């Protein structure tokens, strides 16, 4: 199942909605969780952001900040468990029998109030005994390595976030590039980038993933198959790289010679 979580940082323009539609068409998620829509239910309806989804829950922004919404398609059975201005917690029924929990989460953007977010996360953790996935913008980093530029973060705030995650028995899913999910959009030495968005899952979900990756199909271990494919891919890319480098070198020499001849012919 594909789940798409995105901090839109405002859906008040046609450009933002077009970006959202692009992601929706590319990812084709069963569930879509949007953060910081910064607009109300009426504007979301006006832009027809939810075609193809039978279910939706929209939480209007407060003033010009916040705003959450979640959409799900007709084949996804979802039961709403709780929601607030900073989270949406649902139970997803998969394959008609297996239930699991998905929570879209938004950490308080005010660092002095962020401890309320961790208190909420810990309180919600003990309310339901299901395999749990939590995704969103937590507005906080876990480690110094998740920030580039600017002044160092207050280590107490990092520790507070890590302790909340550990107390909830959650683990970081990791990420594919890009490494940082937020930037202050400044240039040079003023640039600051941080990893604020992430996915978390509990130990049970982790064991399910590990089991799937170690399952044998057709007498062959999945990991062996993947490793073999990666090796073959690497070999072919290596061959392509050599051939391309030779071709580029030849082109470079030819063009340099052409340029020299052109310079000579233009001399008086």
Q: How far apart are CA 256 and CA 251, in angstroms?
A: 8
The DSSP annotation for 29-40 comes to: -SEEEEE---S-
Q: What is the pLDDT of residue 15?
A: 81
pLDDT digits (tens, 9 = 90+) for 56-68: 898 988 877 889 9
Q: Quick one: average pLDDT of 74-99?
A: 87
pLDDT digits (tens, 9 = 90+) for 186-244: 988 899 999 999 999 987 766 665 655 555 555 556 566 666 666 666 666 655 555 55
Q: What is the pLDDT of residue 191?
A: 93
Query: What is the CATH number assigned to the segment(s) 3-215?
Result: 3.60.10.10
Residue 16 has pLDDT above 60, yes or no: yes
pLDDT digits (tens, 9 = 90+) for 162-174: 999 999 999 998 8
Q: How far apart are CA 107 and CA 174, in angstroms?
A: 18
Other Cβ atoms closer than 10 A to 252: 10
Coil, helix or strand at residue 7:
strand
Q: How far apart are CA 122 and CA 107, in angstroms?
A: 13
Q: At what angle do helices 203-214 and 222-266 cross, to 10 degrees?
A: 80
Q: How far apart are CA 155 and CA 157, in angstroms?
A: 5
Element (H, E) at 251: helix 222-266
Backbone region of residue 177 per phi and psi (left: phi > 0; alpha: psi in -120 to 50; beta: other values)? beta
Element (H, E) at 131: none
Backbone region of residue 242 per phi and psi (left: phi > 0; alpha: psi in -120 to 50; beta: other values)? alpha
Overall pTM surpassing 0.85 (yes/no): no
- Residue 55 vs residue 221, higher pLDDT: 55
Q: In which band, very low, low, confident or very high, does the pLDDT at 123 lie, cut at 50, 70 and 90?
A: very high
């Amino acid at each position: 199942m594909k789940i798409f979580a995105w901090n839109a940082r405002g859906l008040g323009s046609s450009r933002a909605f077009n970006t959202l539609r692009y992601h929706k068409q590319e990812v084709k998620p069963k569930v879509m969780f949007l953060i910081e829509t910064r607009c109300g239910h009426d504007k979301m309806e006006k832009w027809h952001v939810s075609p193809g989804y039978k279910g939706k829950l929209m939480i209007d922004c407060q003033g010009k900040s916040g705003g959450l919404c979640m959409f799900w398609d007709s084949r996804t059975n979802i039961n709403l468990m709780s929601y607030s201005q900073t989270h949406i917690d649902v139970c997803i029924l998969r394959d008609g029998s297996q239930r699991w929990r998905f929570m879209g989460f938004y950490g308080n953007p005010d660092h002095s109030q962020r401890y309320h977010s961790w208190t909420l996360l810990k309180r919600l953790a003990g309310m339901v005994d299901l395999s749990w996935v939590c995704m969103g913008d937590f507005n906080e980093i876990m480690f110094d390595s998740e920030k580039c530029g600017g002044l160092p973060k207050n280590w107490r705030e990092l520790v507070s976030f890590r302790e909340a995650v550990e107390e909830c028995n959650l683990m970081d899913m990791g990420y594919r590039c890009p490494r940082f999910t937020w930037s202050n959009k400044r240039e040079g030495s003023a640039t600051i980038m941080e990893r604020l968005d992430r996915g978390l899952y509990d130990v049970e979900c982790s064991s399910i993933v590990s089991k799937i990756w170690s399952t044998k199909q057709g007498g062959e271990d999945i990991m062996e198959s993947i490793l073999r494919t990666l090796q073959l891919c690497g070999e072919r890319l290596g061959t392509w790289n050599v051939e391309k480098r030779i071709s580029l070198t030849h082109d470079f020499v030819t063009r340099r010679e052409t340029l020299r001849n052109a310079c000579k012919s233009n001399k008086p």
